[in-house]
Amino acid sequence: MKNVIVGQSGGPTSVINASLLGVYKQAKKLGAEKVYGMVYGIQGLLEGNIIDLDEYLLDKRNQELLRRTPSAFLGSCRFKLPEPALDEKTYQKIFDVLRDYEIDAFFYIGGNDSMDTIKKLSSYSSMIYGDRLFIGVPKTIDNDLAITDHTPGYGSACKYIATTLKELVRDGLVYQNPVISVVEVMGRDAGWLTASASLVKSDDCEGVAMILLPELPVDIDHFLNKVGEIVRQGKSAVIAVSEGIKVADGRYVCQLADEGTQKDPFGHVRLAGTSRFLADLIAKTFGCRTKSMELSFMQRSASHCQSLVDVVEAEELGSYAVQLAYEDKSGVVATLVRTGNHPYSCKLDYSAVHHIANAVKKIPLEWIDGENYQVKQELVDYIRPLVEGYLEPIWENGLAKHLILKK
Amino acid sequence: MKNVIVGQSGGPTSVINASLLGVYKQAKKLGAEKVYGMVYGIQGLLEGNIIDLDEYLLDKRNQELLRRTPSAFLGSCRFKLPEPALDEKTYQKIFDVLRDYEIDAFFYIGGNDSMDTIKKLSSYSSMIYGDRLFIGVPKTIDNDLAITDHTPGYGSACKYIATTLKELVRDGLVYQNPVISVVEVMGRDAGWLTASASLVKSDDCEGVAMILLPELPVDIDHFLNKVGEIVRQGKSAVIAVSEGIKVADGRYVCQLADEGTQKDPFGHVRLAGTSRFLADLIAKTFGCRTKSMELSFMQRSASHCQSLVDVVEAEELGSYAVQLAYEDKSGVVATLVRTGNHPYSCKLDYSAVHHIANAVKKIPLEWIDGENYQVKQELVDYIRPLVEGYLEPIWENGLAKHLILKK
């Protein structure tokens, strides 16, 4: 194998760059002459925006910084490849670039849509060219990819979310006067991230009082009954909600807000915060003090609070993807298979990309206690090992240091 | 001196418990028999809600946990003591409790309002009892206390805010498609916290594009002109704004929002997010993509991102307050006096509490470049040393461990 290329795609995570490092190091180790990076994913490749990663990563300190750098070092894109039948020119252009750079293997670190790119390129290649390899490396904080036990990026996001929620539980309890805080966590269709709120309950923390997940519709009356029980206890409480929770008729909970109060700058109804809507509803119903908060984009880029397990696995999957290429695999995605929880262990495996692309993995309903807005122990046991360990930032002048592309 | 008592008051910080530890350790060292804690501040004292801190803090591991515990370990209150002339009974009750517990010195860790409590109690005591000592230990993330160079809690909040903003700058730049993110930071009257956004600019970061502080009124047209310059550069940018920024006529910027769209659950106009309002305004004016985020209560309780300088100083001030009591001082507040920036150094000092109580310290206008929405180097030099160093959490099962009161 002569040269390889790697790209990053979709939303950032705080360990997507550890996977990039895994690809780079393993490719160099196995003898690749050049490891190229696509700047802004496949879109950058189409524009010839390609760099030689040696320029940054021959330096061992830069490798350590890359591991701890949030967002995507190479830049990312949200670009859905058209079907080859509809637009073959785009494919020809991609393969022209690959030929020009003498690239034998193409690695793409991403989520659902990125795996769709791998699927299409590997299918097209096997029909037309035959000899180029396309391998996916999974990542997404949402943890909604099929087949793989979990996705890199998920564990660190959970560590940040649970650490923050634990601090917010303490903060809420500081006064005698109770307050109900509603904290909104990312997750449109799957509640994996919000479920990490279950980790907060421990010897040294009361935990969050309720966890609302998009896997089950919310019955507003039942929800208010349960909140009433909390309010009557007279103590502060934190409620964690997924942004994507819906009522039975399929509307998002935030769409229940009075339309007149929810206009975007162009006068359209907007999906304003779910947490804001619920906090207002609770205040109105019970006359109690409420707060609403959103963990927003902080939760996907908080590399100052990385899970070591997550960083290590992200790098291993990048490395393993390269090994798969050297075994002449194509159209596959590197995956994790859990082999134990006590102690936690995972082995590396792979799956044909068509099993993974475009599928969405939700929380199994039997892991959710919908009646009480709690999750079951199985789900806690599933998440807990993924937040273990900590990779301390490299601090410089008091702030976490990152590696960035030169202008 | 026989026994002493300590309380925490006002809003939480992530190092207010380090000051509590400083009081405890120094009082024990200097021979206090009992170090009592008021649960929920002066309000708890009035209710006889008092604990013996030995129960928790004889254990050295608990001391380490206390240093790293967010919010106020003892609980807090927002309780303004009435003037003695209006309600002497409250004072008599407080002094009854102090007599019952044989308390010679009273330490109160807090901000403006808490220093008012110290002022009133020490005045009253010197008139009536003469022999009890009342000492203040400063804390507030807002850094708006007079006399002291800065306040414990400020440095850690800055470290968290700047670390997070740096991650959000990276996150915003991940796609080629630009986005203007407006991030709201706490600060009604003083912009000290928001000014920490200036630390983000460095070799490895583009920094935030604009910093809006409440010290100067915002001219919306001028603001939009400056945003236009950024938008025309076609790159993503982050704008940091204080929640309390106002226009020239004294209205909060968030009050400029269409009233119809800003109702609280009871139908009253609410001060909705400043960041949301500005993000909407930018989107409407330039037709570009925007995001708004609020660092909300996370920024005052993020003990997983403590500044070591801040933790050490918080503890030293607690300790020094006890020393002041042993020197028979009363009606004073322990303070910090900066003696150098290269290298950074501070010495401990004290001030009569009436110089500090109820005063608000704002950023000197000569440290602000209002025309360009930037701060000057003097302000960067002032903040930078306060975020230096890091005290790693004690992790347990993947999350930061805290010390909490038993039920």
Shortest distance between the Cα of B308 and any Cα of chain A, in A, equals 9
B31 within domain boundaries: yes
Residues B283 and B328 in one domain: no
* The two three-digit tokens of residue B371, written as one number: 């025309």
Taking CB atoms and an 8 Å limit, are B297 and A291 in contact across chains? yes
**What was the pLDDT predicted at A352?**
96
d(CA B107, CA B322): 8
Shortest distance between the Cα of B141 and any Cα of chain A, in A, equals 14
Dihedral sign (CA B225, B228, B230, B233): negative
Taking CB atoms and an 8 Å limit, are B303 and A167 in contact across chains? yes
**What was the pLDDT predicted at B272?**
58
Residues B174 and B291 in one domain: yes
Shortest distance between the Cα of A394 and any Cα of chain B, in A, equals 10
Instruction: Give the torsion through C-alpha atoms of A86, A89, A90, A91, to 10 deg.
Output: 90
Residues B165 and B256 in one domain: yes
B133 within domain boundaries: yes
d(CA B274, CA B293): 10
Q: Could you say which of A281, A301, A321 is where a domain stops?
A: A301
B313 within domain boundaries: yes
Contacts with A162 from chain B: Cβ below 8 Å: 398-399
Taking CB atoms and an 8 Å limit, are A70 and B170 in contact across chains? yes
A366 within domain boundaries: no
* The two three-digit tokens of residue B157, written as one number: 């909040």
Of A72, A261, A404, the CB nearest to B261: A261
Q: Could you say which of A272, A301, A330 is where a domain stops?
A: A301
* The two three-digit tokens of residue A117, written as one number: 């790119």
A133-138 and A332-341 as β-strands: parallel, antiparallel, unpaired? parallel
* The two three-digit tokens of residue A389, written as one number: 């360990």
Cβ neighbours for B299, distance < 8 A, ≥ 6 positions apart: B141, B157, B160, B161, B185, B186, B193
Per-residue pLDDT of chain A (407 residues; tens, 9 = 90+): 899 999 999 999 999 999 999 999 999 999 999 999 999 999 999 999 999 999 999 999 999 999 999 999 999 999 989 999 999 999 999 999 999 999 999 999 999 889 999 999 999 988 776 679 999 999 999 999 999 999 999 999 999 999 999 999 999 999 999 999 999 999 989 999 999 999 999 999 999 999 999 999 999 999 999 999 999 999 999 999 999 999 999 999 988 886 545 555 566 555 558 999 999 999 999 999 999 999 999 999 999 999 999 999 999 999 999 999 999 999 999 999 999 998 999 999 999 999 998 888 999 999 999 999 999 999 999 999 999 999 999 999 999 999 999 97
Nearest CA in chain A to B305: A304
A219 within domain boundaries: yes
Residues B171 and B296 in one domain: yes
Number of domains forming the structure of chain A: 2
Of B163, B260, B301, the CB nearest to A400: B163
Residue B343 identity: P
Nearest CA in chain B to A199: B399
Residues B218 and B327 in one domain: no
**What was the pLDDT predicted at B258?**
66
DSSP string, A201-223: -BTTB---SEEE-TTS---HHHH
CATH code of the domain containing B183: 3.40.50.460
Nearest CA in chain A to B278: A265
Nearest CA in chain B to A71: B171
Distances from the Cα of A20 to the Cα of A63, A167, A351, B236, angstroms? 10, 32, 20, 23
CA-wise closest residue to A25 among A16, A15, A35, A17? A35
B366 within domain boundaries: no
Nearest CA in chain A to B310: A398
Instruction: Give the torsion through C-alpha atoms of B258, B259, B263, B268, to 10 deg.
Output: 160
d(CA B298, CA B304): 11
Coil, strand or helix at A35: strand
Contacts with B204 from chain A: Cβ below 8 Å: 65, 396, 401-404
Neighbours of A264 (CB within 10 A): 14
Whats the size of chain B, residue-wise? 407
Nearest CA in chain A to B283: A265
Residues B192 and B263 in one domain: yes
Of B168, B266, B387, the CB nearest to A398: B387
**What was the pLDDT predicted at B113?**
87
Shortest distance between the Cα of A130 and any Cα of chain B, in A, equals 32
Neighbours of B176 (CB within 10 A): 18
Residues A329 and A198 in one domain: no
* The two three-digit tokens of residue A292, written as one number: 């609403």
Helix (H) or strand (E) holding B392: none
Coil, strand or helix at A395: strand
Taking CB atoms and an 8 Å limit, are A71 and B171 in contact across chains? yes
Nearest CA in chain B to A169: B71
d(CA A98, CA A7): 13
Residues A28 and A104 in one domain: yes
Taking CB atoms and an 8 Å limit, are B199 and A297 in contact across chains? no
Give the angle A221-A226-A228 at the CA atoms, nearest 5°.
Answer: 90
Helix (H) or strand (E) holding B94: helix B88-100
Nearest CA in chain A to B70: A167
d(CA B38, CA B5): 7
Taking CB atoms and an 8 Å limit, are A164 and B298 in contact across chains? yes
Taking CB atoms and an 8 Å limit, are A71 and B174 in contact across chains? yes
**What was the pLDDT predicted at A270?**
59
Residues B50 and B187 in one domain: no
Taking CB atoms and an 8 Å limit, are A388 and B401 in contact across chains? no
Per-residue pLDDT of chain B (407 residues; tens, 9 = 90+): 899 999 999 999 999 999 999 999 999 999 999 999 999 999 999 999 999 999 999 999 999 999 999 999 999 999 989 999 999 999 999 999 999 999 999 999 999 889 999 999 999 988 776 679 999 999 999 999 999 999 999 999 999 999 999 999 999 999 999 999 999 999 989 999 999 999 999 999 999 999 999 999 999 999 999 999 999 999 999 999 999 999 999 999 988 886 545 555 666 555 558 999 999 999 999 999 999 999 999 999 999 999 999 999 999 999 999 999 999 999 999 999 999 998 999 999 999 999 998 888 999 999 999 999 999 999 999 999 999 999 999 999 999 999 999 97
Question: Hey, which residues of B are catalytic here?
Answer: 142
* The two three-digit tokens of residue A147, written as one number: 């087949």
Coil, strand or helix at B32: coil
Residues A312 and A283 in one domain: no
Among A142, A203, A264, A381, the active-site one is A142
Contacts with B306 from chain A: Cβ below 8 Å: none
Which of A8, A74, A79, A167 is the best mutation test for B, with the most CBs of B within 10 A? A167
Contacts with B72 from chain A: Cβ below 8 Å: 174
Continuous H helices in A30-136: 41-46, 54-57, 60-67, 88-100, 112-128
Q: Could you say which of A301, A323, A342 is where a domain stops?
A: A301
Of B40, B167, B176, the CB nearest to A176: B40
Taking CB atoms and an 8 Å limit, are A298 and B77 in contact across chains? no
Contacts with A392 from chain B: Cβ below 8 Å: 390, 392
Shortest distance between the Cα of B271 and any Cα of chain A, in A, equals 13
d(CA A294, CA A273): 8
B85 within domain boundaries: yes
Burial level of B80, CB count in 10 A (0-12/13-18/19+)?
exposed
Distances from the Cα of B364 to the Cα of B70, B112, B339, B349, B401, angstroms? 30, 19, 19, 22, 39
Instruction: Give the torsion through C-alpha atoms of B17, B18, B19, B20, to 10 deg.
Output: 50
Cβ(A113)–Cβ(A77) under 8 Å?
A: no
Coil, strand or helix at B379: helix
d(CA B189, CA A146): 50
Taking CB atoms and an 8 Å limit, are B71 and A40 in contact across chains? no
d(CA A165, CA A152): 21
CATH code of the domain containing A119: 3.40.50.450
Residues B135 and B170 in one domain: no
d(CA A200, CA A202): 6
d(CA A341, CA B315): 40
Give the angle B176-A186-A311 at the CA atoms, nearest 5°.
Answer: 75
**What was the pLDDT predicted at B264?**
59
Contacts with A167 from chain B: Cβ below 8 Å: 70-71, 298, 301-304, 400
Range of the domain at B284: 154-301
Contacts with B11 from chain A: Cβ below 8 Å: 174
Taking CB atoms and an 8 Å limit, are A399 and B175 in contact across chains? no
Contacts with B70 from chain A: Cβ below 8 Å: 167, 170-171
Contacts with B182 from chain A: Cβ below 8 Å: none
Residues A37 and A98 in one domain: yes
Taking CB atoms and an 8 Å limit, are A301 and B173 in contact across chains? no
Shortest distance between the Cα of A328 and any Cα of chain B, in A, equals 31
For A43-54, give one letter per residue: b (16+ CB within 10 A) or e. bbbbeebbbebe
Taking CB atoms and an 8 Å limit, are A404 and B170 in contact across chains? yes
Of A170, A296, A301, the CB nearest to B71: A170
d(CA B404, CA B406): 6
Contacts with A403 from chain B: Cβ below 8 Å: 204
Taking CB atoms and an 8 Å limit, are A398 and B392 in contact across chains? no
B26 within domain boundaries: yes
* The two three-digit tokens of residue B356, written as one number: 């500090």
Of B173, B202, B305, the CB nearest to A304: B305
